[in-house]
């Protein structure tokens, strides 16, 4: 049985199309998998920030019991928490602007909590309570978790962004709308060492 030239060409074309389809499917599926990894890492970041926000009402209630405590400091903490809870980001749209807005809100919470801790140094009876000590330890642990999860997020986003920009994935990523993800960055002014004067 002799196969005609037309059939050979058709078989070659079908094989080439099948290989191209398989290649494209593999790249697309890896992009989806890596984007989902970024989403998971982002959820972990949000989770530890939420843990910190959940500790704030307990901390405020513990501090309220101390007579003559500065009400403006407590109000600043409560307002910073409210602002931080209002900032929601879709992990599919993690661009630099939205991530900066989230980071600014969280920095507001950090700053307000820092001022609260400084003011609490003036109240030894508060520092001596077990409830306050436990909350302070939980906040410190949460800050460490935040740092770890931010680092993991940046690593996951970097792997995704690198693959997204690599050839030939960059061809398909543009066709299917995959976007580069932003990173957490150091706070403004963090590059300058503080000056200590005695």
Phi, psi (degrees; rounded to nearest 5) at 168: -95, 5
pLDDT value at position 154?
Answer: 95
89 and 102 in contact (C-beta within 8 Å)? yes
- 40 found inside a domain: yes
- 31 found inside a domain: yes
- 80 found inside a domain: yes
Residue with tokens 């809100």: 105
Here the CATH number for the domain that contains residue 50 is: 1.20.1440.20
pLDDT value at position 60?
Answer: 82
Q: Tens of pLDDT along 101-150?
A: 999 999 999 999 888 888 777 777 777 777 778 888 898 899 999 999 99
pLDDT value at position 1?
Answer: 61
- 187 found inside a domain: no
112 vs 192, which has greater pLDDT? Answer: 112
92 vs 34, which has greater pLDDT? Answer: 34
| Alpha-carbon gap, residue 18 to 175, rounded angstroms | 19
182 vs 4, which has greater pLDDT? Answer: 182
Q: How far is CA 158 from CA 29, 32, 67, 75, 189, in A?
A: 18, 15, 50, 38, 24
Q: Which domain holds residue 132?
A: 5-176
- 118 found inside a domain: yes
* Model confidence at 152: pLDDT above 90: yes
- 183 found inside a domain: no
Length of the chain: 198
- Average pLDDT on 85-95 reads 85
* Model confidence at 66: pLDDT above 70: no
- 182 found inside a domain: no
pLDDT value at position 26?
Answer: 93
| Alpha-carbon gap, residue 153 to 40, rounded angstroms | 9
- The number of folded domains in the chain is 1
Q: Which residues of 88-118 are buried (b: 16+ CB within 10 A; e: fewer)?
A: ebebeebeeeebeebbebbebbeebbebbee
What predicted TM-score, i.e. pTM, was given to this entire model? 0.81
| Alpha-carbon gap, residue 139 to 113, rounded angstroms | 10
- 25 found inside a domain: yes
Q: Tens of pLDDT along 14-64?
A: 999 999 999 999 999 999 999 999 999 999 999 999 999 998 888 888 777
């Amino acid at each position: 049985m002799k196969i005609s030239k037309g059939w050979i060409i058709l078989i070659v074309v079908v094989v080439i199309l099948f290989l191209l389809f398989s290649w494209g499917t593999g790249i697309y599926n890896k992009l989806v998998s890596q984007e989902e990894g970024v989403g998971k890492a982002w959820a972990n970041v949000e989770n530890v920030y939420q843990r910190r926000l959940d500790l704030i009402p307990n901390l405020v209630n513990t501090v309220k019991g101390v007579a003559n405590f500065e009400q403006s400091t407590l109000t600043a903490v409560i307002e910073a928490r409210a602002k931080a809870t209002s900032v929601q980001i879709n992990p599919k749209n993690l661009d630099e602007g939205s991530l900066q807005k989230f980071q600014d809100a969280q920095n507001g919470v950090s700053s307000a909590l820092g001022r609260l801790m400084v003011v609490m140094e003036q109240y030894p009876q508060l520092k001596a309570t077990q409830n306050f000590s436990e909350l302070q330890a939980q906040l410190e642990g949460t800050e460490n978790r935040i740092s770890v999860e931010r680092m993991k997020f940046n690593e996951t986003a970097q792997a995704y962004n690198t693959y997204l920009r690599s050839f030939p994935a960059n061809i398909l990523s543009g066709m299917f709308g995959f976007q580069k993800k932003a990173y957490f960055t150091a706070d403004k002014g963090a590059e300058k060492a503080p000056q200590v004067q005695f």
